[in-house]
Chains A and B, each alone.
Chain A
Amino acid sequence: MTLLGLFNHWAFVIIMMVGLYAIIARNNMVKKILGLGLFQTGIFLMYITLGVRDGATAPILQDDPAVIYANPLPHVLILTAIVVSVSTMAVALALAIGIRESYGTVEADEVAAIDQSSQEVGC
Chain B
Amino acid sequence: MHDSGSRSHEMSESVVLRTIGGMLIPYILIFGFYVQMHGEIGPGGGFQAGVLVAAAFILHLLLFGRSGTDRWLPRWLVDLSMSLGVLLYAGTGVACMAMGGHFLDYSALDPTHPAEAEALGMTLVEAGVGLTVASVVLTIVRKVQGGTR
* B148 contacts A101, C-beta separation under 8 Å: yes
Report the Cα distance A79→B46, complex, angstroms.
13
B129 CB to nearest chain A CB (Å): 11
**Mostly helix, strand, loop or mixed at chain B's interface?**
helix
Closest A residue, CB atoms, query B140? A90
Is A67 in contact with chain B by the CB < 8 A criterion? no
Tally B residues with Cβ within 8 Å of A.
6
Is B143 in contact with chain A by the CB < 8 A criterion? yes
Interface flags for A80-123 (1: CB within 8 Å of B; 0: not) read: 00010000001001110110010000000000000000000000
Is B147 in contact with chain A by the CB < 8 A criterion? yes
**CB-contacts of B92-149 with A (<8 A):** 140, 143-144, 147-148
Q: Which residues of chain A come closer than 8 Å to B143, judged between CB atoms?
A: 90, 94
Report the Cα distance A97→B148, complex, angstroms.
7
B51 CB to nearest chain A CB (Å): 10
* B144 contacts A93, C-beta separation under 8 Å: yes
Report the Cα distance A95→B143, complex, angstroms.
11
Report the Cα distance A97→B140, complex, angstroms.
13
Q: Which residues of chain A come closer than 8 Å to B148, judged between CB atoms?
A: 94-95, 97-98, 101
Interface flags for A55-96 (1: CB within 8 Å of B; 0: not) read: 000000000000000000000000100010000001001110
Q: Which residues of chain B come closer than 8 Å to A93, judged between CB atoms?
A: 144
Report the Cα distance A90→B143, complex, angstroms.
9
Q: Which residues of chain A come closer than 8 Å to B140, judged between CB atoms?
A: 90
Report the Cα distance A93→B147, complex, angstroms.
10
**CB-contacts of B25-78 with A (<8 A):** 47
B121 CB to nearest chain A CB (Å): 19
Report the Cα distance A46→B120, complex, angstroms.
36
Closest A residue, CB atoms, query B144? A93
* B144 contacts A101, C-beta separation under 8 Å: no
Report the Cα distance A101→B47, complex, angstroms.
33
Report the Cα distance A39→B140, complex, angstroms.
22
Closest CB pairs A-B (n = 10) = A90-B140, A98-B148, A94-B148, A97-B148, A93-B144, A97-B147, A94-B143, A101-B147, A97-B144, A94-B144
11 A-B pairs whose Cβ atoms sit less than 8 Å apart in the complex: A83-B47, A90-B140, A90-B143, A90-B144, A94-B143, A94-B144, A94-B148, A97-B144, A97-B148, A98-B148, A101-B147
